[in-house]
Amino acid sequence: MEQLKTIGRELAMGSQGGFGQSKEFLDLVKSIGEARSKAEEDRIVLHEIETLKKRLSEPDIPKRKMKEYLIRLVYVEMLGHDASFAYIHAVKMTHDDNLLLKRTGYLAVTLFLSDDHDLIILIVNTIQKDLRSDNYLVVCAALNAVCKLINDETIPAVLPQVVELLGHSKDAVRKKAIMALHRFYQKSSSAVSHLLTNFRKRLCDNDPGVMGATLCPLFDLITIDANPYKDLIVSFVSILKQVAERRLPKSYDYHSMPAPFIQIRLLKILALLGRDDKQASEKMYTVVGDIFRKCDSSSNIGNAILYECICCVSSIFPNPKLLESATEVISRFLKSDSHNLRYMGIDALSRLIKISPEIAEQHQLAVIDCLEDPDDTLKRKTFELLYKMTKSSNVEVIVDRMIDYMICINDNHYKTYIASRCVELAEQFAPSNHWFIQTMNKVFEHAGDLVNVKVAHNLMRLIAEGFGEDDDTADSQLRSSAVESYLGIIGEPKLPSVFLQVICWVLGEYGTADGKYSASYITGKLCDVAEAYSNDETVKAYAITAIMKIYAFEISAGRKVDMLPECQSLVEELSAAHSTDLQQRAYELQAVIGLDARVVESIMPSDASCEDIEVDKDLSFLDNYVRLAIEKGAQPYIPESERSGMLNVSTFRGQDQHEASTHGLRFEAYELPKAPIPAKVVPIASSTELVPVPEPSYSREIPQAAPVSSVSDVGSSGLKLHLDGVQKKWGRPTYSSTPPSTSNSTSQKTVNGVSQDGRSTANSKARDSYDSKRTQVEINPEKQKLAASLFGGSSKTERKQSSANHKVAKASSQAAEPSQVSNTTVVASVGTNLQPPPDLLDFSEPTVTTSAPLLDPFKQLEGLLDSNAAVASTANHGGGNASKEPDIMSLYADMPLSGHSSSTENTISTHGDDANLMSGFSNAARIDHGGPTVEHSTQQLSKGPNPKDSLEKDALVRQMGVNPSSQNPNLFRDLLG
Amino acid sequence: MIRAVMVINTQGKPRLAKFYDIQAVEKQRELIRNVYGVLCSRAENVSNFIEAESFFGPDSRIVYKHFATLYFVFVFDSSENELAMLDLIQVFVETLDKCFKNVCELDMVFNYSKMHTVLDEIILGGQVLETNSTEVMKAVEEISRLETASNAISLVPKSVSSWRSR
Average pLDDT, chain B: 84
Residues of A in contact with B91 (CB under 8 A): 254
Give the bridge partners for B71, in sequence order: B8, B66
Q: Examine residue B58 and state whether it is found in any structural domain, yes or no.
A: yes
CB burial readout A565-599, b (16+ within 10 A) else e: eebeebbeebbebeeebbebbbbbbbbbbebeeeb
CB contact under 8 A, B104 and A953: yes
Min distance A288 CA to chain B CA atoms (Å): 17
Which secondary structure element, helix H or strand E, spans residue A670, and what is its range?
none
pLDDT at A674: 63
Which residue type sits at A578?
H
pLDDT at A468: 61
Q: d(Cα A711, Cα B152) in Å, to the nearest integer?
A: 80
pLDDT at B152: 59
* pLDDT tens-digit series, residues A56-113: 888 888 888 888 888 888 888 888 888 888 899 999 999 888 888 888 899 999 988 8
Which DSSP letter does residue A673 get?
P
Beta strands in A265-326 (DSSP E): none
- Tell me whether A957 touches chain B (CB under 8 Å): yes
Residues of A in contact with B46 (CB under 8 A): 339, 373-378
Q: Which domains does chain A have, with CATH numbers?
A: 396-618+682-687+702-725 (1.25.10.10), 802-895 (no CATH)
Select the residue of B84, B111, B147 nearest A99 (Cβ to Cβ). Answer: B147
Min distance B74 CA to chain A CA atoms (Å): 15
Half-sphere exposure of A424 (CA within 13 A, CB side): 10
pLDDT at A310: 93
- A732: pLDDT confidence band, cut at 50, 70 and 90? very low
Residues of B in contact with A63 (CB under 8 A): 155
pLDDT at B92: 92
Select the residue of A99, A107, A114 nearest B146 (Cβ to Cβ). Answer: A99
Select the residue of A223, A252, A963 nearest B9 (Cβ to Cβ). Answer: A963
CB contact under 8 A, A975 and B127: no
Residues of B in contact with A79 (CB under 8 A): 13-14, 29
Give the bridge partners for B19, in sequence order: B4
pLDDT at B142: 87
Q: Which of residues 200-219 of A touch B (CB under 8 A)?
A: 209, 213, 216, 219
pLDDT higher at A689 or A526? A526
Which residue type sits at A123?
I
Average pLDDT, chain A: 71
Give the nearest chain A residue to B54 (CA atoms): A413
- Whether the CA torsion A514, A519, A525, A529 is positive or negative: it is positive
CB contact under 8 A, A264 and B84: yes
pLDDT higher at A16 or A102? A102
pLDDT higher at A235 or A672? A235
CB contact under 8 A, A100 and B133: no
> Span B86-109, mean pLDDT?
87
pLDDT at A256: 83
CB contact under 8 A, A375 and B84: no
CB contact under 8 A, B68 and A176: no
Residues of B in contact with A970 (CB under 8 A): 102
Torsions phi, psi of B5, nearest 5?
-125, 130
Whether the predicted pLDDT of A215 surpasses 70: yes
Whether the predicted pLDDT of A321 surpasses 60: yes
Whether the predicted pLDDT of A611 surpasses 80: no
CB contact under 8 A, A15 and B46: no
The region that residue A480 occupies, defined by phi over 0 for left and psi between -120 and 50 for alpha, beta otherwise, is: alpha
Give the nearest chain B residue to A81 (CA atoms): B25
- A218: pLDDT confidence band, cut at 50, 70 and 90? very high
Select the residue of B43, B84, B143 nearest A137 (Cβ to Cβ). Answer: B143
Select the residue of B50, B101, B116 nearest A377 (Cβ to Cβ). Answer: B50
- Best residue in A19, A102, A255, A344 to probe B by mutation, most B CBs within 10 Å? A19
Q: d(Cα A304, Cα B84) in Å, to the nearest integer?
A: 6
- A664: pLDDT confidence band, cut at 50, 70 and 90? low
CB contact under 8 A, B81 and A307: yes
Nearest-CA neighbor of B137 among B93, B106, B74, B84? Answer: B93
* pLDDT tens-digit series, residues A397-407: 888 888 888 88
Residues of B in contact with A344 (CB under 8 A): 82-83
CB burial readout A955-974, b (16+ within 10 A) else e: ebbebbebbeebeebbbbee
* pLDDT tens-digit series, residues A839-894: 444 444 443 433 444 444 445 544 444 444 444 344 444 444 444 444 444 444 44
Torsions phi, psi of A143, nearest 5?
-65, -40
* pLDDT tens-digit series, residues A908-953: 444 444 444 444 444 444 444 444 444 444 444 444 445 566 666 6
Min distance B71 CA to chain A CA atoms (Å): 12
Nearest-CA neighbor of A751 among A864, A870, A867? Answer: A870
- Best residue in A224, A336, A377, A408 to probe B by mutation, most B CBs within 10 Å? A377
pLDDT at A951: 65
Least confident of A351-365, A602-616, A782-796: A782-796
CB contact under 8 A, B113 and A33: no
> What Cα–Cα distance (Å) separates residue A886 from each residue in A818, A826, A890, A892?
19, 20, 6, 10
Select the residue of A303, A954, A974 nearest B67 (Cβ to Cβ). Answer: A974
The region that residue A462 occupies, defined by phi over 0 for left and psi between -120 and 50 for alpha, beta otherwise, is: alpha
- Best residue in A148, A174, A926 to probe B by mutation, most B CBs within 10 Å? A148
> What Cα–Cα distance (Å) separates residue A361 from each residue in A426, A787, A788, B157?
22, 9, 9, 73
* pLDDT tens-digit series, residues A750-775: 444 444 444 444 444 444 444 444 44
- A672: pLDDT confidence band, cut at 50, 70 and 90? low
Residue % of chain A over a pLDDT of 90:
12
SS (H, E, C) A629-641: HHHCCCCCCCCHH
For chain A, what is the total number of helices (H) and then of strands (E)?
50, 2
Select the residue of A20, A26, A972 nearest B68 (Cβ to Cβ). Answer: A972
CB contact under 8 A, B10 and A115: no
> Span A633-650, mean pLDDT?
69
Whether the predicted pLDDT of B43 surpasses 70: yes
Whether the predicted pLDDT of A266 surpasses 90: yes
pLDDT at A838: 41
- Domain with B149, as residue range(s), is 2-156
Q: d(Cα A326, Cα B88) in Å, to the nearest integer?
A: 25
Size of interface A-B (CB pairs under 8 A): 250
Q: d(Cα A267, Cα A284) in Å, to the nearest integer?
A: 10
pLDDT at A177: 92
Least confident of A491-500, A604-613, A739-748: A739-748
* pLDDT tens-digit series, residues A950-971: 666 656 555 554 444 444 444 4
Min distance A880 CA to chain B CA atoms (Å): 29
* pLDDT tens-digit series, residues A897-909: 444 444 434 444 4
DSSP state string for A521-536: HHHHHHHHHHHHTTT-
Half-sphere exposure of A363 (CA within 13 A, CB side): 30
Q: Examine residue B165 and state whether it is found in any structural domain, yes or no.
A: no
Select the residue of B47, B67, B117 nearest A375 (Cβ to Cβ). Answer: B47
**CATH number reported for the structural domain that contains residue B44 in this entry:** 3.30.450.60
Q: d(Cα A797, Cα A780) in Å, to the nearest integer?
A: 18
Min distance A595 CA to chain B CA atoms (Å): 54
CB contact under 8 A, B49 and A343: yes
Min distance B17 CA to chain A CA atoms (Å): 7
- A645: pLDDT confidence band, cut at 50, 70 and 90? low
CB contact under 8 A, A103 and B113: yes
Which DSSP letter does residue A615 get?
P
Whether the predicted pLDDT of A834 surpasses 50: no
Please answer whether residues A877 and A429 qualify as being in contact, where contact means their C-beta atoms are separated by less than 8 angstroms: no
Give the nearest chain A residue to B146 (CA atoms): A99
DSSP state string for A339-396: HHHHHHHHHHHHHHTTT-TTHHHHTHHHHHHHHT-S-HHHHHHHHHHHHHT--TTTHH
* Chain length of chain B: 166
Whether the predicted pLDDT of B144 surpasses 90: no
Whether the predicted pLDDT of B63 surpasses 90: yes
Select the residue of A304, A941, A963 nearest B83 (Cβ to Cβ). Answer: A304
Q: Examine residue B138 and state whether it is found in any structural domain, yes or no.
A: yes
Q: d(Cα A309, Cα A914) in Å, to the nearest integer?
A: 23
Whether the predicted pLDDT of A271 surpasses 50: yes
Whether the predicted pLDDT of A571 surpasses 50: yes
CB contact under 8 A, A953 and B16: no
CB contact under 8 A, B131 and A223: no
Question: A299: burial class by Cβ within 10 Å (0-12, 13-18, 19+)?
Answer: middle
Beta strands in A180-223 (DSSP E): none
End-to-end CA gap in chain B? 48
Select the residue of A176, A251, A340 nearest B83 (Cβ to Cβ). Answer: A340
Q: How far is CA A254 from the centre of its chain?
A: 35
Q: d(Cα A2, Cα A596) in Å, to the nearest integer?
A: 97
Nearest-CA neighbor of A483 among A454, A521, A451? Answer: A521
Q: Examine residue B34 and state whether it is found in any structural domain, yes or no.
A: yes
Least confident of A343-352, A534-543, A789-798: A789-798
Min distance B32 CA to chain A CA atoms (Å): 9
Count up the domains in chain B and report the number. Answer: 1
> What Cα–Cα distance (Å) separates residue A656 from each residue in A640, A645, A647, A685?
17, 19, 14, 44
- Tell me whether A144 touches chain B (CB under 8 Å): yes
CB contact under 8 A, A103 and B14: no
Please answer whether residues B87 and A304 qualify as being in contact, where contact means their C-beta atoms are separated by less than 8 angstroms: yes
The three-class DSSP label of residue A275 is strand
Least confident of A88-97, A114-123, A466-475, A547-556: A466-475
Q: Which of residues 63-92 of A touch B (CB under 8 A)?
A: 63-64, 71, 74-75, 77-82
Residues of A in contact with B13 (CB under 8 A): 32-33, 79
- A746: pLDDT confidence band, cut at 50, 70 and 90? very low
Question: A410: burial class by Cβ within 10 Å (0-12, 13-18, 19+)?
Answer: exposed
- A313: pLDDT confidence band, cut at 50, 70 and 90? very high
Residues of B in contact with A936 (CB under 8 A): 134
